[in-house]
Chain A
Amino acid sequence: MTVTETAAAGRVDDLTPTLQVEHLEVTHRVRGDDRRALRDVSFQIGRRESYGLVGESGSGKSTVALALTRYLPRNGRVTGGRISINGQDPLAMDAEALRALRARTVSMVYQEPGKALNPSIRVGRQVAEVYEVAGLDRSAAQDKAEAMLRTVQISDPGRVMGLYPHQISGGMAQRVVVAMALAAEPSLLILDEPTTALDATVEAEVLDLVAALREDFATSVLFISHNLAVIAKMCDRVGVLYAGELLEEGPAQQVFEEPRHPYTVGLLRCIPRRGQRKDAGRLDTIPGFLPSPGHTLPGCVFAPRCPIAEQRCREARPPAFDVGPGRRSRCYLHDATSDLPRNTPVEVQLASTRDPAEVVVSLHDLSKTFTHGGESVRALVGVNLSLERGETLGLVGESGSGKTTLARALLGLVAPDEGSDVELDGTALAAEARRRPREQLKALQIVFQNPDSALNRRHTVRHLISRPLSRLAGLSGARLRERLTDLVRSVRLEERHLSLRPSQLSGGLKQRVAIARAFGGGPRIVVCDEPTSALDVSVQAAILNLLADLQAKEQVTYLFISHDLGVVRYLSDRIAVLYLGRVMELGPAETVFAGPHHPYTEALLSAVPSIDGQRADRIRLHGEIPSAADPPSGCVFHTRCPRRLSTGVCETTEPPLAQVAPGHLMSCHIPIDQLTILQRTGQDGD
């Protein structure tokens, strides 16, 4: 049996930590150049403990996981330090011992569950393999695999066993990967961004599952994520990685409440929290950039970006100071972090008073049906929305909700169905951008999610920003150059960036170029389609500040799409919640967040983990988002709705989008008073 084998292989005693990492150093060789990816990283994970490693891109957090399992890329090697898993050192093992370690002691769950499964082998067989490695025969392994799939709450494991990976959803695939990882009953479970690719409600389910199974299996966990809130929710202790160094570690709650390293302080200040809004103050930022890979800074790696760095910080690398029980910080000035000066002043330029309800754009009965292989998929169904001058309308919803389709239909990048109507200042717009006159093109612009895709990599920044000036604003010669300089300055780029191409800029700078291009023609509405989700937290804050400033200055209207509710709340005046192409709820941002909410909004809000402790009123959605090709009858949300009425009306009749309070619309059969009571009871209950 696996249990006894695991015990024989690894279990030392309960006092030995499951994992000890001491002074780990990993180097990558890139074009004949040695680049240090990890430097002097030390931490340990106790029995049944859950440890979070948090860091931005380039911090080396995934390299830690790969080093632990000795699966570094070909050009990477451990150049120093020691690893001990249950008292065994994977770095010193021969191939057979390493294989046994991977089979019994360490398991891993990956970011992209779809890719982690072999596309040409049935799911059941892939899970069963783990038991076969442990010595079971094929049929016994199949039985165990089926039981394990049931353990990870797959309702029909017998059927799922016979499917191929492409036939199951991302959430289901991640359950299967978790099942494979836990099947060996490992001492250490490594999760590398396990929910980053998943939707919020699915993420919440998977996180709950991992938390529950960790208890059942008495497994220690190393949880790697860029998302501080997920770490706060899942981990007992946390380590903060930056540029390959562990800058701070300690109990998760303490680190997030009272950080003792300027980098941690900065990171936490970058995130819009506790309902912070654009009109109440700017987000703080971390200026500057991650040191280039292979840097040789003599002092603290964070010193170049640190607001309180002193001479000694730049000259000698700070040791890890003990800053409390179980807490360490690599900062000379760890006592000065509580009142760290801000990099960005808090005061904001308030938007000049908006003319109330001057509608710029309105959408009437906007529908879009795509045809895929003979199936029609209704991406948008009868959406009615209007955008007012100078406001931000936040668009919220999971994948398949139609957010992006709505934006593209508004811009004229996809033609909506017959009968849909998009109006600008009361004038109907042509369905296709190609047929719209210059004035209309000029009015509607977009900032895309991924600047690498949005900026033509063959063009210079100058060309990219000048083009809207000449095409839309009709400028040329000296007037164009003048406006270009203004524009570059207003998005806080520098003149020297003009001659560069996108590949020579960092992610944040590229997004500034994209913003400059969108604003070049003097738009009235700018669609922001997840403009910060490809960026690191520290860069996101500066971009959000910039968007808020530009809006205040230019009185431009934003249609702001994001899956990050904190970001949406920070920037939006009103919020529309989409589900399967329909508006479920629409209202002033604060009302939508404060409640009473539509049950779907409620579920979304409770699905999102928060750094500041978890909400008590958690409702969980089960199952997957239904396919838009075959939407449920009645209210499309009824299949997952925890508050579905017993009368059966939800299954049969689609509720209208009706006003429940001034400016607050909802599509739900449950009367608003009853929702209020239900949702308040939930809160009181805890």
Chain B
Amino acid sequence: MGTYVLKRLGLALVTLWLLSVLVFFATQVLPGDPGRAILGNLASPSAVAALDHQLGVDRPLIEQYWTWVTGLLHGNMGVSTQFRAPVEPYVQAALVNSLKLAALAFVIVVPLGIVGGVVAALNYGRGADRVISVAGLSATTVPEFVSGIVVIVVFGVALKVLPVSASAGAGASPASQFQHLILPAIPLVLVLFGYIARMARAGTIEALNSDYARTATLKGLKRSVVIRRHVLRNSLLPTITVIATQTGYLIGGLVVVETLFNYQGIGNLIYTAAKSKDFPMLAAGVLVIGVVYMVATLIADILSTVLNPRLRLGGAE
């Protein structure tokens, strides 16, 4: 198992490197002349060249990449072109905000999704199953800004019960912050609910139809014991992996939700960076998202290895 974790870590590092190349390529190479982009069409060529030189973008690509990557390794993510200041404090603050929102969504959706999926599986083919399945599917497939608009229209505009903006403002009480986060969390919960419920349902149905569930039932165990001890133990394993994988989609959703609700998170950060062609900021934001996602997947993989004796202990031979 130790070797598995090491191997998994090694793969994660390779992926991280590929990711850095991808981000570097997209943010430093594709956009063309950063100096021109910053100074605009009216600036003189010499001013552009001077800025390019100052930014270091007139050097060879490999050298630029090397500078960039070694900078990253030293915690130096570059200088924001829109704020003319190091990007780290911005990224850090945004990440904390995003994690708050994501955590709230997770706390709501994980139990909800699992219970929904298990209830659907136990009622396989009946009304409750159809309702949960179709509702879950619909919720998952609707983009967050669409469901976000619906909740804004319903709760913010029509009923006026919850604040439409996600930010409670500086110095707001935790209760107030929480209140402001409820509406933005709903679209995220909706998108994730379908995935988690679907996975939990499929796993539970498979376990219910398994030979070992039959063995347990024919042993004379109570149905509740069969489900708790024999079915759920096996069916929820794959669900854990899915939950972690969904972190990625969650962060993708954050870009949209944070923009819609004007919340100062990592999604909003890369959005505004993109709008103002602030490529160092954009690169840092995207990289941070990638790292968070990879860490989540890694934890999920290790967790499911720990929980699954077959993976943990290896084969008989």
Contact = CB atoms under 8 A, between A and B. Distances in A.
A484 interface: no
A180 B219 contact: yes
A95 B125 CA distance: 22
A147 interface: no
B218 A118 contact: no
Contacts of B310: 119-120, 164, 166
B8 interface: no
A428 interface: no
Interface stretch (B71-79, B209-217, B247-255, B272-280): B209-217
B215 A168 contact: no
Contact of B212 (A74, A107, A115): A115
Contact of B211 (A112, A120, A129): A112
Contacts of B309: 119-120, 164, 166
Interface string A628-667: 0100000000000000000000000000000000000000
A233 interface: no
B214 A71 contact: yes
Interface string A69-90: 1010010000000000000000
A102 B220 CA distance: 5
A121 interface: yes
Contact of B219 (A119, A133, A168, A169): A133
Contact of A120 (B125, B216, B221, B308): B308
A119 B310 CA distance: 7
A104 B219 CA distance: 8
B214 A116 contact: yes
A169 B218 contact: no
Given A120-B234, A121-B230, A133 B211 contact: no
B203 to A, nearest CB: 12
Contacts of A130: 219-220
A110 B317 CA distance: 24
B241 to A, nearest CB: 15
Given A104-B220, A166-B309, A167-B313, A180 B215 contact: yes
Most buried by A among B212, B223, B313: B212
Contact of B233 (A112, A120, A167): A120
A71 B229 contact: no
A117 interface: yes
Contacts of A166: 309-310, 313, 315-316
Main secondary structure, interface of B, reads: helix
A585 B19 CA distance: 59
Contacts of A121: 229-230, 233
A118 B216 contact: yes
Nearest to A117: B212
Q: Pick the most buried of B216, B218, B310, B315: most chain A CB atoms within 10 A of its CB.
A: B218
B215 A100 contact: no
Contacts of B220: 99-104, 130, 133, 184
B222 interface: yes
Given A69-B218, A71-B217, A115 B211 contact: yes
A116 B219 contact: no
A513 interface: no
A627 interface: yes
Given A121-B230, A164-B313, A629-B317, A116 B212 contact: yes
A99 B221 CA distance: 7
A511 B222 CA distance: 46
Interface in B294-316: 307-310, 313, 315-316
Contacts of A106: 218
A103 B219 contact: yes
- Size category of the A interface is 35 or more
A173 to B, nearest CB: 10
B215 A110 contact: yes
A164 B222 CA distance: 23
Contacts of A74: 124-125
A167 B219 CA distance: 22
Contact of A117 (B215, B221, B222): B215
Interface in A133-160: 133
A369 to B, nearest CB: 15
A313 interface: no
Contacts of B316: 166-169
Contacts of A100: 220
A40 to B, nearest CB: 26
A95 B215 CA distance: 17
Contacts of A526: none
A571 B230 CA distance: 47
A126 to B, nearest CB: 8
* Residue among A110, A168, A169 facing the most chain B CB atoms (10 A cut-off): A110
Contacts of B216: 118, 129
A108 interface: yes
A527 interface: no
Contacts of B124: 74
A74 B217 CA distance: 15
A503 to B, nearest CB: 23
A523 B158 CA distance: 81
A177 interface: yes
Output the residue of B308, B310, B315, B316 with the most chain A CB within 10 A: B316
25 contacts: A71-B217, A95-B223, A100-B220, A101-B220, A102-B220, A110-B211, A110-B214, A110-B215, A115-B211, A116-B214, A117-B212, A119-B234, A120-B237, A120-B308, A120-B309, A120-B310, A121-B233, A129-B219, A130-B220, A164-B309, A164-B313, A166-B310, A167-B313, A184-B220, A629-B317
Interface of A: 69, 71, 74, 95, 99-104, 106-108, 110, 112, 115-121, 126, 129-130, 133, 164, 166-169, 177, 180, 184, 627, 629
In order of increasing CB-CB distance, the 5 nearest A-B pairs are A103-B220, A115-B211, A102-B220, A118-B212, A164-B309
Given A101-B220, A108-B218, A166-B309, 13 more contacts: A74-B124, A100-B220, A102-B217, A102-B220, A107-B218, A116-B211, A118-B215, A118-B230, A119-B310, A130-B220, A164-B310, A169-B316, A184-B220
